[in-house]
Amino acid sequence: MQTVTLIPGDGIGPEITESAVRILKSAGAEIEWDIQTAGADVIEEEGTPLPERVIKSIMKNKVALKAPVTTPIGKGFRSVNVQLRKSLNLYANLRPCKNIEGIETRFNNVDIVIVRENTEDLYAGIERQIDRDSAESIKIITREASERIAEFAFEYAVKNKRKMVHSVTKANICKLTDGLFLDSVRNIAQKYPQIEYKEILVDNLCMQLVQKPEKFDIMVLPNLYGDIVSDLCAGLIGGLGIAQGANIGKEYAVFEPVHGSAPDIKGQNKANPTALLLSAIEMLKYIDQKDTANKIEKALYKTIKEKINLTPDLGGTSTTTDYTKTIISNL
């Protein structure tokens, strides 16, 4: 039995968490959940959306499954997600994007893995109001973090038998910062002659992704481009409801979907739990419960392929509850 920190988040977080936990339990996952609330709902009582107990729990258990947490725009606490990634040094944000049979999209040959640097860039949070009508933000890029994420991308390529890595920057304009990122990836690429290495500017990448996504395999990007491009790639395979993710460091790993707390559909029993479930499947593989992971994966793909009881974002009319029941009956 492995203890795993569970953060149900807010917005649609608790609904999709309940679904994923039920499916994992039905599949026989050997997990004891250490439930840690965080986000908008705990601020009143604890004065912060990210109480210290949440970090301590992950430090103790080493692994967490996390649902989304709301970040207020323009004011208040910066971001639970950014804070969590920083506190635990979860430097790599891994976001695989692959077509799922049964979900019709413009393309049927997308199989991309996004490796996003997770600790610096404009997310370092160094912002300043100059006067009432102007503000500035500082973009931090270091060789250490850039080489570390490049190494992660190439190691992932080798372990998962992938063929190509693209570095993605805007080094023609941000010559020093993105230039440093690019130079760092180039250095690391030399150590992996068996993996084809290519470079592309982020604007050109966006255009090519929506025309020929099959040209791309693994991409390594600084934080902000990684954030934006991963939503684009989620769109290529059918939307945020099915886009999984993981934040990985040397000591800890937090598995979470790409999407946010979706306040527009909160409490309506129509959120798609697939992205969280796919993240949980990766978590099961990570903690060496591969058979359970494969069992859930099969039941999930069968459910989607048969198109019975899909949630509205996938073109169905089902509730989260019925979709969950169908997956469980397919286990």
Crossing angle for the helix pair 320-329 and 13-26, to the nearest 10 degrees:
10
> Which residues does 117 contact at the CB level (< 8 Å), separation at least 6?
91, 92, 93, 145, 146, 149, 181, 220, 221, 222, 223, 226
- Least distance CB 306 / ligand NAI (angstroms): 19
Task: Indicate the residue among 28 and 76 with the shorter CB distance to ligand NAI.
Answer: 76
Q: Which of 97, 171, 220, 240 binds ligand NAI (CB under 6 A)?
A: 240
The smaller minimum CB distance to ligand NAI, of residues 12 and 27, is found at 12
- Dihedral sign (CA 194, 226, 229, 183): negative
Query: Residue number with the shortest CB distance to ligand NAI?
Result: 260
- Range in contact with ligand NAI (rule: CB under 6 A) among 91-99, 144-152, 252-260, 278-286: 252-260
- Which residues contact residue 79 at a Cβ distance below 8 angstroms, ignoring those fewer than 6 apart? 71
CA distance 226 to 169: 10
> Is 184 near ligand NAI (CB under 6 A)?
no
Q: Tokens 């999984």 sit at which residue?
A: 244
- Candidates 37, 261, 289, 309: give the one binding ligand NAI (CB under 6 A): 261
Residues 287-326 contacting ligand NAI, CB under 6 A: 313
247 binds ligand NAI (CB under 6 A): no
DSSP E strands, 89-183: 92-98, 111-117, 127-131, 134-137, 164-169
**293 class by beta-carbon count within 10 Å (0-12 exposed, 13-18 middle, 19+ buried):** buried
**Which residue number, 120 or 178, has a Cβ lying nearer to ligand NAI?**
120
Kind of pairing, strands 63-66 and 253-255? parallel
Binding characters for ligand NAI, 58-77, by CB under 6 A (x = yes): ----------xxxx------
Instruction: Tell me the sheet residues that pair with 201.
Output: 169
Assess 262 for contact with ligand NAI (CB under 6 A).
yes
Residue 260 binds ligand NAI (CB under 6 A): yes
Q: By C-beta, is 184 or 261 nearer to ligand NAI?
A: 261
Site residues for ligand NAI per CB under 6 A: 12, 16, 68-71, 81, 240-241, 256, 259-265, 271-272, 275, 313
